Structure 1
Amino acid sequence: MANPSHQIIEKLKKVSTATIATSLFKRGLKNQFIQDISPLKKGKQTMVGAAFTLRYIPAREDLNPITVFKDPKHLQRVAVEKCPKGAVLVIDSRKDARAASAGSILATRLMKRGVSGLVTDGGLRDSAEIADLDFPAYHSRPSAPTNLTLHQAIAINEPIGCGDVAVFPGDFIVGDNDGVMVIPQHLAADVADECLEMTLYEEFVLEKVGNGASVIGLYPLTNNTLKTEFETWKDSNKKIQKS
């Protein structure tokens, strides 16, 4: 998997998942927000990175005893050790949080390896410990049982479904307090540029609304006088971010 552009990542760190959702909606993509997950702890830095995936299928008891963890080729462990620095490990747990997708030891290992975050549509064990790490993590709810009781790791770094969203290796993953968006890799540069401009305009709108302005003609911007005012505001605040 090619390393994602540092420039795109830095831009996406400055925008919200809500803004990204609007930008993707303009392009006809309505289902890029991973459903029914949330950050273990809010207020952390925005998570951005390329997707590196792990897929689980339902566990079959004769193939998934606790002794499989002794195998150095066990795919859950391999995924943790191979997930590239700066990437986000995204786990397809079939939206089943009855058993944990991972726990604090694996999350700590990912953090120490420089991985940018962890996302699962299942649950995480040791959730309080993971929440206290300097490491963004998203799940549906805490779950104590080991993944082996319900989940069998079957593949790494192939297309998966996570929270009803298709995730392809290399897609850009962005997570904030609201949740996680998936940006198709080929759209990421354009989306990042547009979202920076959208974010800048929203700052202008908030300033205007905070001073008592009506949203009519302002949000969305249809008033030509306000368009001119926004351009002047951008110049005076020197906030245009070049591509």
Structure 2
Amino acid sequence: MTNWQDPRYKELSTAEISDALDFFGLPGPAHGLGCVTGDHKIMGRAFTVRFAPVDPLNAGTVGDFIDDVEETEIIVLDNEGRTDCTVWGGILSQIAKRKNLRGTVIHGVCRDSHEAMDCGYPIFSRGTFMRTGKDRVQVEEVGGAVSLGDVRVNPGDLLVGDRDGVVVIPFSRVLEVLERAVKTRQAEQDIIQATESGSSLRAAREALGYHTLQRKQAGQA
């Protein structure tokens, strides 16, 4: 079992992981992205695709990259945050579900969201919009670094998504972020238990160092 498959990751929320990323001074929370197809939690490694405005002299396509995605991967589509045209629709959702893929995360929008909801496929995006990306954008690169707003995603990075959004963990830092997030979670559970036993919230937080749990430490980067 590799670090990213540690079952403890499945128990963690994006909030707990975000606090751990803060502790190490790492970016990770993808601002503005939420699940548009229901209440899903996803975890998997990034399969990255970058789009660009269509080239009138050498027009490409929106791509058939889904044929190459593995079950353990989350498709990460960088459409530069555009909300005026889509790069994911119903056909892709149904194929992805049939392939048992982990989910799709889009720096942009999707369409045919009802089809994804009907088949239970998770999509995290900036929203939904019905206009196709065909003849507006094209696949520029598959398997390179992409952006989810101000967060860089490299192929193979770990993504976790839940009702609060999406976080990205650099693959080389997966274990230490996990250990820190577990420590933070335990401290928060201890605070709740302390208050149930009669402690004030102020005293419990002070005793367990709550206000410094996610504070970036000197030398961390």
TM-score by structure 2 length? Answer: 0.85
Deviation at 1:149, TM superposition (A): 3.9
Matched, 1:59 2:57: no
- Counterpart of 1:165? 151
Deviation at 1:11, TM superposition (A): 1.9
CA distance in 2, matches of 1:97, 1:83: 25
CA distance in 2, matches of 1:108, 1:206: 42
Deviations 1:162-214 (A, max 9, x none): 22210000110000000000000011112123222322332332344456642
Deviation at 1:110, TM superposition (A): 1.4
State the percentage of identical aligned residues: 24
CA distance in 1, matches of 2:177, 2:99: 28
- Counterpart of 2:187? 201
Deviation at 1:27, TM superposition (A): 0.7
Matched, 1:80 2:80: no
Q: 1:86 to 1:39 in 2, by over 3 A?
A: same
CA distance in 2, matches of 1:115, 1:21: 24
Give the gaps of 5 or more residues in structure 1: 69-73, 224-243
2:51–2:78 contact (8 Å) kept in structure 1: yes
TM-score by structure 1 length? Answer: 0.78
CA distance in 1, matches of 2:16, 2:151: 18
- Give matches, 1:3-152, under 5 Å: 5=2, 8-29=5-26, 31-44=27-40, 46-64=41-59, 76-77=63-64, 79-152=65-138
Q: 1:164 to 1:207 in 2, by over 3 A?
A: same
1:11–1:193 contact (8 Å) kept in structure 2: no
1:37–1:163 contact (8 Å) kept in structure 2: no
RMSD (Å) for aligned C-alpha atoms? 2.2
Give the gaps of 5 or more residues in structure 2: 210-221
Larger radius of gyration: 1
Q: What secondary structure does 1:13 align onto?
A: helix
Tell me how many residue pairs correspond in the alignment.
209
Q: Which is richer in helix?
A: 1
CA distance in 1, matches of 2:136, 2:164: 28
Q: 1:152 to 1:75 in 2, by over 3 A?
A: closer
Q: 1:86 to 1:57 in 2, by over 3 A?
A: same
Deviation at 1:49, TM superposition (A): 0.4
CA distance in 2, matches of 1:211, 1:133: 45
- Counterpart of 2:212? none
